[in-house]
A and B are shown apart, each in its own frame.
Chain A
Amino acid sequence: MSRPRIQSLSAVTPGDLGRRHFLRGAGGAAVGVPLLEYFSGNAQAQMTPPKRVLFMTAGHSQEPSATGESWSPVATHNAALPANLSPILSPLIAHRDRLLVVDGIDNIASGLQPTNGHNGTSRTMLSAMPIKKALDANGNLLAAPPECTIGEDSAGPSIDYFLADAWKETMLSLRVGSPPDEHVRSFRMDLSRDLHEGNPQTAFTRLFQGYKGGTLSAADRLRGKRTSILDNVRGNFDRLLTKVGGEDKIRLQRHADQIRQLETSLQTVVRLVCDNPTYKAPQALTGVNFNDGDGRNDDKIVAGQLELVKMAFACQATRVAHIHFSNIQTNKFPFLNGGQDLFSIGWHGIIHRDEGTDQQRLQTMQWYTKVVADAVSLFAATPDGDKGTLLDNTLIVFMSSLRQSWHGTINLPIILAGNLGGTLKTGRYLKYNKRTTGDFFTTLLNVLDVPAKSFGWTTGARDGTPFFTGPLPGFVG
């Protein structure tokens, strides 16, 4: 049982100016808080709001047509972003001065093992590591690693979880689409895969559970006993584990280990800085299927999730969030076409330019950058600290696992928004040459005050590109 972790310590809320703090404990019971006295309202208001990060990740390529560049704003390294950006980035034009568009970052870890177009490209995307099975017991790369299939997991944690762990935060893990199978991108510190939560209401309840203004309900009191109950459950696993072997033992042991992990996560204590947190999606989500691979309500879902991220960041329930766009096969995008499906066959075939038109491809790719623009607008309109906005203290990181329509992971599409309290000079286009996700994530960690020397796989090179060189020069500006 780990010691309860105090999470966020400071700042004020949007609107209702927090003067109270809540703890999210192992269950409904409010936990006694000796530290409360440290944080009177005045003390908080004088503190600098903390840095936050929202990752938004997709899994599609960015080549709507066979000829011509549609993503890069066509500018030289460190130049100011042009007024019209680029076709795919055009929804972000209004936020041009708040952006960094980064080119030249390759995911070469994907090539460390055989894979189809998605399993390996996604699993290595945020970890900059090969899959577990590509390594021997000493962590060295096998001469002939096995194929990265749907069952494989990364050999390293993903950047979102790594950052949350470094900051001692709970990762707010959200998903737009069906639970990922090929497109698994996030791995916890114990390297278990994260499938993310689709329903923002459920995610809200979990993140904020435990705050109750009045008396505890029976459900709260039962939840308050989760630790004792889960201990008891693990005892039942231990009893059975002595009697089984082989695959049964592996399966049941994994389940038991995960219960221990769940127990630990329930020990996390969250300090909030806003009164009476409630959640309401901007567009009603009643009846919405959060596992819909066709993505017919993806616009409403992501709007609801952005609202939750905004609230969680503003209340400082956490500082790290990830919105994972998992639909990549059969998306229909009716919200881009007056309620009618934009096309009848799967989007996947369209992205690969088997079917569909360049205009259809561009339209769908622009939807994702529009969502980034929505996030920027929302955070820019949310107060944070004494006089700033949430955007002033938040970095939005948009990435896709693919750039080329043939499942290529060279020159990944990356957009950053927000200047982290003036740390980053935005409005620039950064064009690196053959740098890696390991270099990029190390750079990110450093600007987020995590003194990492490297991230991911650091040994050797692939096709002339070293896996790790160091932080990106000129990134801060």
Chain B
Amino acid sequence: MTEPQTPALTSVNLEGSTSMIQVRLHDARFGALVCLILSVPMLACSGSINAGSTGGGGGDRSGGNAGNGNGGNSKTGGNNNTGGISVPDCPTAVLPFSFEAVRLTDVQYRNTISSLFSFPIDIGTKYPTSSSRYAFTSFAAANDVLYADLQNILETSESIALQAVDKIAQVVSCAPTGDGVACARTFLQGFLPRAYRRPVQTAEIDHLITLYSAVRAGTDPLDFNLAIGAVLVSVLQSPQFLYRVDIGTPGVTPGLLKLDGFEVASRLSYLFWDSPPDDILKTRATKGDLGNKDVLVSEAERLLADPRARTTVARFFSEWMGASGKVFADRVAAPIAASFAPEFDRFVTDAVFDADADIGALVSAGHTFANKSLQQHYGLPVTAKDDNDWLRVDLPPKLRAGVLSKAQVAAAHAHTGDTSVILRGNFALGRLTCFDVGLPPAGAVAMNPELPPGSTQRARIEARSSIALCKSCHSAMDWMGYGMEDLDQVGRIRDTYQGNGTPVDAAGIAVPFDDATFTGTAGLASLLKANAEITGACLATQWYRFATAHTEDETESQCHITALNKAFANSSYNLKALLVGIARSDAMLFRKEVK
């Protein structure tokens, strides 16, 4: 009950919703049904699968008809034979989707600054990083600017400007004469469109020329070079540079704004490359090609084929797994800890880009990429020469669980010194099946039963589950987590629990899969693969969230995510098809008009 919270993942259980599958949590230990749609919201575990409307909606899944689309009350439920996916009518005209202004993330900022100068810039470490408290670091809310960040952004801007002033000949191509205004203007005509990632208006240049002239006068008048520096400090703090803001223009559909080519170009390039649009995209934007979805798809394929996409795509999968940016040097020797994240990245990028894999392989593959330290860590035959020698190796049965059994993932949802049934269970439910149990209710922590020191994790959890308030959610989480107990807190197979040496009991129950029983992480992987219509819909939801920088509303779930998921299903859940598929989404071309 004291586990970290992920607010953005919380999904409220909407009674009567047609887009979600209402799930009744079973009290797995006693086999009795506990309906969690309670009248007191504080007590309700908001268990719901909110992942692209895999079923027709409204259907009670207790009968075992998971994902067959036979729920019956969606407009077209079951009529489209798309591998179990039913697609409701979604006229573009009425879709209320949003895509908020989002500050450049740390990596986007670095890539964008690099694109502006022909020489390396030391950006330092003050630029605010994204909050990891949201589902993805791409989220607008994860990049909100707090007052404490402002001075850091100011100082970073000043540092960059001073580096540019030091190499002014490589920044400004003209030679200033007189008051230098003409040359400053020439500089801005070239620089500003690159900084703002779009053509600029004369008034925008005039505004900066006003600053230029002001700092050349006054009590300590600056020379031309330093005055250009002052202009740079302003540009680098301005929202036109610092944020990705889509303005759009009203079109034929009331309430819907159509993005211009440059806005679409930025959406695509920052999504796949974390970088501003390249010349090809800018040319297409200028020519007006980017309103055409076929062009968008071909551009997405082009961007995805570039090595830069590997980094971004690996980060998406890593953030999806809740495993991004963590180093477990306090649990294993430094060379091993340093190999965890690269292993994960190699596995997923190989799956997406080289093996052209589907979701089944992603969640249940029996291989990995390991260097010498990792081979030793996993207890595999050591065939790698050293830690720079990464080899594709087959894994023993208990580790044949794709991303799930990667050390980085196993460690991310465990404590330093031991596993955590709750963390793993909550992770597997929320991230792999989009079954969100929400946050602990108010007062939950105070009710945490106190047990003698040395009590086993299972004893603690069972004591907790004896409390009605806790049981409703914890029965789903804990039983999912029990089944993953065969991997220790750094992803190694373990047969006995640490400390007391008793045999590991990795019998689990997966509530989202109709209470299917399984044993071990690999057993869960098999279930995830076998239930691709649920796992796939969840992954499509996650990719949509990552790409659009927000958590969808219900209509988006019904329409955009369902459409994305339909294409994903039609490709037999090919991962690359999912990534490219977002380019065909209206969410990339339009935004909601907000008064």
| Chain A interface residues toward B at CB < 8 A | 29, 66, 114-117, 147, 149-151, 179, 181, 188, 192-197, 206, 216, 218-219, 221-226, 228-230, 232-233, 235-237, 239-240, 243-249, 251-252, 254-255, 258-259, 261-262, 294, 329-330, 332, 341, 343-346, 348-349, 352-357, 406-407
Contacts and interface: CB of A to CB of B under 8 A. Distances in A.
14 contacts: A117-B445, A150-B133, A219-B158, A223-B158, A225-B215, A228-B215, A244-B594, A248-B100, A251-B101, A344-B416, A345-B416, A346-B415, A354-B451, A354-B460
B445 to A, nearest CB: 5
Nearest to B233: A229
B43 interface: no
Interface in B383-424: 415-418
A221 B2 contact: no
A72 to B, nearest CB: 22
B581 to A, nearest CB: 26
B415 A345 contact: yes
B446 interface: yes
B144 A251 contact: yes
A466 to B, nearest CB: 24
Nearest to A246: B594
A229 B446 contact: no
A116 B450 contact: no
Nearest to A245: B594
Contact of B418 (A197, A247, A345): A345
Interface in B24-42: 42
A365 B286 CA distance: 63
B238 interface: yes
Contacts of A244: 101, 245, 247, 594
A216 B226 CA distance: 13
A471 B229 CA distance: 54
A348 B2 contact: yes
A340 to B, nearest CB: 11
Contact of A221 (B150, B222, B243, B440): B222
A236 B238 contact: yes
B238 A248 contact: no
Contact of B330 (A147, A179, A196, A294): A294
Select the residue from A116, A147, A235 with max chain B CB neighbours within 10 A: A116
A228 B145 contact: no
B450 A248 contact: no
Select the residue from A114, A149, A150, A232 with max chain B CB neighbours within 10 A: A232
Given A116-B442, A221-B226, A262 B154 contact: yes
Contacts of B101: 244, 247-248, 251-252
Select the residue from A149, A196, A197, A239 with max chain B CB neighbours within 10 A: A239
A247 B98 contact: yes
Given A192-B147, A248-B101, A262-B151, A407 B446 contact: yes
B445 A352 contact: yes
B594 A251 contact: no
Contact of A251 (B140, B148, B451): B140
Select the residue from A149, A222, A240 with max chain B CB neighbours within 10 A: A222
A330 B416 contact: yes
A329 B146 CA distance: 23
Given A225-B222, A247-B98, A236 B207 contact: yes
Select the residue from A188, A192, A193, A251 with max chain B CB neighbours within 10 A: A251
A261 B448 contact: no
Interface string B204-221: 100110110011001110
Contacts of A224: 220
Contacts of B133: 150, 181
B446 A406 contact: yes
B450 A353 contact: yes
A244 B230 CA distance: 27
Contact of B234 (A219, A236, A341): A236
Given A29-B219, A117-B446, A222-B226, A252 B154 contact: no
A201 B549 CA distance: 35
B379 interface: no
A346 to B, nearest CB: 7
Contacts of A352: 2, 445, 448
Given A222-B226, A233-B238, 9 more contacts: A181-B131, A222-B161, A232-B208, A236-B238, A243-B247, A244-B101, A252-B239, A254-B145, A349-B415
Interface of B: 2, 4-5, 7, 42, 98, 100-101, 131, 133, 140, 144-148, 150-151, 154, 158, 161-162, 165, 203-204, 207-208, 210-211, 214-215, 218-220, 222, 226, 229-230, 233-234, 237-240, 243, 245, 247, 330, 415-418, 439-440, 442, 444-446, 448, 450-451, 453, 460, 592-595
Contacts of B158: 219, 222-223
A218 B162 contact: yes
A206 B230 CA distance: 20
B148 A195 contact: yes
Given A149-B7, A218-B226, A116 B220 contact: no
Contacts of B204: 236, 239
Given A226-B154, A247-B140, A343 B148 contact: no
B1 to A, nearest CB: 9
The 5 tightest CB contacts between A and B, nearest first, are: A344-B417, A246-B594, A245-B594, A236-B238, A248-B101
Contact of A218 (B154, B165, B233): B165
A194 B440 CA distance: 26
Given A195-B146, A221-B222, A247-B98, A237 B440 contact: no
B162 A235 contact: no
Contacts of A259: 150, 237
Select the residue from A229, A245, A329 with max chain B CB neighbours within 10 A: A229
A357 B453 contact: yes
Contact of B440 (A116, A181, A240, A332): A116
Nearest to B440: A116
B260 to A, nearest CB: 13
Select the residue from A66, A193, A247 with max chain B CB neighbours within 10 A: A247
Nearest to B415: A345
A332 B165 CA distance: 45
B274 to A, nearest CB: 20
A131 to B, nearest CB: 14
A354 B417 CA distance: 14
A222 B162 contact: yes
A294 B327 CA distance: 12
Contacts of B442: 114-116, 147
Contacts of A406: 445-446, 448
Nearest to B99: A248
A344 B158 CA distance: 42
B245 A229 contact: no
Nearest to A27: B220
B594 A29 contact: no
A55 to B, nearest CB: 17
Contacts of A114: 42, 442
A188 B595 CA distance: 31
B2 A349 contact: yes
A237 B4 CA distance: 36
Contacts of B239: 236-237, 240, 252, 255
A193 B131 CA distance: 16
A345 to B, nearest CB: 5
Nearest to A408: B446
B145 A258 contact: yes
Given A247-B594, A251-B144, A252-B101, A206 B151 contact: yes
Contacts of B150: 258-259, 262
Contacts of B594: 244-249
B140 A232 contact: no
Nearest to B550: A247
Contacts of B230: 222, 225, 228-229
Nearest to B447: A406
Nearest to B237: A233
A399 to B, nearest CB: 21
B354 to A, nearest CB: 35
Contacts of A349: 2, 415
